[in-house]
Amino acid sequence: MTKRVLLIEDEPNIIQAISFILSRDGWRVDTHADGRTAVAEVARRNPDVVILDVQLPNRSGFDILQDLRADPGTQALPVLMLTARGQKRDREMAERYGASRFMTKPFANAEVLDAVRALVAP
């Protein structure tokens, strides 16, 4: 069975890179770029894992993560947070709000693939 990932990111180069890495590994990759409608898109797509950028148009990834964790249907959904700002404060916020993993940009392709695989491992 194909695993599905929802990539919530607004930078075209990152969307293209992550989509290529994961689809080559057998993942079905859906993408979404608007923070305002991201939570509804997670519900609609029902992914196995979410890759969530911190800085999105219209709504912060941290706000989206809080909503996902407050909903019993997505409370346990694995979420990999991505940020261009690798500051300690961002990492602490991600942990406090319930991110499963946290990664800073730029990242190594293998690092993303390993993280996503680990998040869905039995």
pLDDT in tens, 6-17: 999 999 999 999
Confidence of residue 90 (pLDDT cuts 50, 70, 90): confident
Shortest CA distance to 48 belongs to which of 66, 28, 33?
Answer: 28
Residue 46 is predicted with a pLDDT of 96
The residue extents of the domains of the chain are: 4-120
Residue 10 is predicted with a pLDDT of 95
- DSSP-derived secondary structure for 39-79: HHHHHHH--SEEEEESS-TTS-HHHHHHHHHHSTTTTT--E
DSSP annotation of 106 reads S
DSSP annotation of 118 reads H
Record the pTM: 0.95
CATH of 4-120, one of 3.40.50.2300, 3.40.50.300, 1.20.59.10, 3.40.50.720: 3.40.50.2300
